[in-house]
């Protein structure tokens, strides 16, 4: 097998973490590289293990996403499943994650065995009690609400689609995720669901958390993906954010001006990231020393970060941030 190279790439989530905390960006993009290898340095293995942790919001999002994709993949081949079956599918994902954490196998194989961040940092215990039971109830309740609202508010818009209309979207679990290129830079963009309808490309992206202004910009990146990879002009691209917890749909406008703004945003972000590479060379993608990537001064952000241990900030307390 050829050796894997840590090539420079860009994604909306990387840009967000780069803006919020340079140290977290370093650990995600460089410090954890090759940490899957038992022969890697101890700090790389530790960073890789921390990188793979899931918090409750990630668990909810993944459980809901898998249930919804199962519903949609069966729908387009005329083998639909019920809401009750989808709820059980999501619940099974949550149970599996909890059981995987309990086995402790994530210590040796964090890629394939879930480590739950709240348990790891002792924010809750695995034993029955008020804090744990409230945590479990909230995770299960939010997951159920999102699945139910998908069936009530989103699925009716998608019924009648044929498999041929659905655009393939490569996901992280399938190897190299969905992407396009802009000025030689690989841009990762993984919309939740995309399909062709009436000479348009329609993109839906579901959110299991609260509304954030940044979501519109993220959908703009997906519009650029449709424009660049599938050759569809901006007026023929329709973007929708599906807020599953509230059951609300937010259309996002996309036109030539928005496409230009997205390109400018990406390239400005890329240029800022280059400043933290040796000689600014994105082809070599060799980072400056870790000390050049400062930790954030905003401890509220540390509370929601997997790398508190690596940054000696385990003392930072719990925050309930969606």
**Which token pair is 172?**
């992280």
> Over pLDDT 90: what percentage of the chain?
92
Q: If you average pLDDT over every residue of the chain, what do you get? A: 95
For residue 277, the SS3 value is strand
CA 168 to each of CA 64, 77, 163, 201: distance values in angstroms, whole numbers, following the listed order = 19, 15, 10, 12
How would residue 318 be classed by pLDDT, with cut points 50, 70 and 90?
A: low
How would residue 1 be classed by pLDDT, with cut points 50, 70 and 90?
A: low
Helix orientation angle between 130-149 and 56-75, rounded to the nearest 10 degrees: 30
For residue 284, the SS3 value is coil
Q: Which of 167, 278, 293, 288 is nearest to 232 (CA)?
A: 167
Cβ atoms 192, 16 nearer than 8 A: no
Q: What is the DSSP string of 216-269?
A: HHHHHHHHHHHHHHH---GGGEEEEEEETTTTEEEEE---HHHHHHHHHHHHHH
Q: Which of 70, 72, 222 is nearest to 157 (CA)?
A: 72
Q: What is the pLDDT of residues 193-224, one digit of tens each?
A: 999 999 999 999 999 999 999 999 999 999 99
Cβ atoms 235, 200 nearer than 8 A: no
Residue spans per domain, the chain: 22-161+293-308, 167-274
Q: What is the pLDDT of residues 85-143, one digit of tens each?
A: 999 999 999 999 999 999 999 999 999 999 999 999 999 999 988 999 999 999 999 99
pLDDT over threshold 80, residue 321 = no
DSSP 8-state code for residue 308? G
Q: What is the pLDDT of residues 258-305, one digit of tens each?
A: 999 999 999 999 999 999 999 999 999 999 999 999 999 999 899 899
Q: Please tell me the predicted confidence (pLDDT) of residue 314.
A: 78
* Residue 46: Cβ within 10 Å count: 18
> What is the C-alpha end-to-end distance of the chain, expressed in Å?
40
């Amino acid at each position: 097998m050829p050796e894997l190279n840590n090539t420079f790439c860009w994604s909306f989530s990387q840009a967000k973490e780069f803006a919020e905390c340079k140290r977290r960006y370093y650990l995600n993009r460089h410090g954890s590289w090759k940490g899957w290898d038992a022969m890697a340095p101890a700090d790389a293995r530790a960073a890789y293990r921390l990188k793979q942790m899931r918090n409750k919001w990630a668990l909810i999002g993944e459980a809901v996403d898998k249930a919804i994709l199962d519903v949609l993949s069966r729908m387009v081949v005329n083998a639909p499943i019920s809401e009750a079956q989808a709820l059980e599918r999501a619940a099974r994902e949550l149970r599996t994650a909890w059981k995987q954490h309990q086995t402790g196998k994530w210590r040796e194989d964090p890629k394939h065995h879930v480590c739950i961040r709240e348990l790891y940092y002792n924010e809750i215990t695995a034993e029955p009690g008020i804090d744990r039971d409230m945590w479990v109830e909230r995770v299960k309740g939010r997951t159920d609400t999102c699945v139910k609202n998908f069936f009530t508010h989103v699925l009716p818009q998608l019924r009648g689609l044929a498999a041929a209309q659905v655009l393939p979207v490569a996901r992280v679990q399938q190897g190299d995720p969905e992407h396009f290129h802009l000025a030689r830079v690989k841009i990762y963009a993984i919309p939740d669901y995309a399909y062709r309808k009436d000479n348009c490309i329609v993109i839906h992206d579901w959110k299991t958390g609260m509304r954030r202004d940044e979501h519109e910009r993220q959908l703009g990146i997906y519009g650029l993906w449709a424009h660049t990879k599938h050759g569809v002009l901006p007026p023929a691209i329709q973007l929708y954010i599906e807020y599953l917890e509230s059951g609300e749909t937010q259309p996002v406008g996309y036109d030539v001006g928005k496409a230009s703004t997205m390109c400018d945003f990406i390239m400005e972000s890329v240029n800022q990231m280059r400043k933290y590479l040796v000689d600014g060379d994105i082809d070599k993608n060799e980072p400056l020393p870790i000390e050049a990537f400062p930790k954030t001064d905003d401890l509220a952000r540390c509370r929601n970060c997997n790398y508190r241990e690596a940054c000696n900030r385990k003392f930072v307390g719990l925050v309930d941030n969606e």
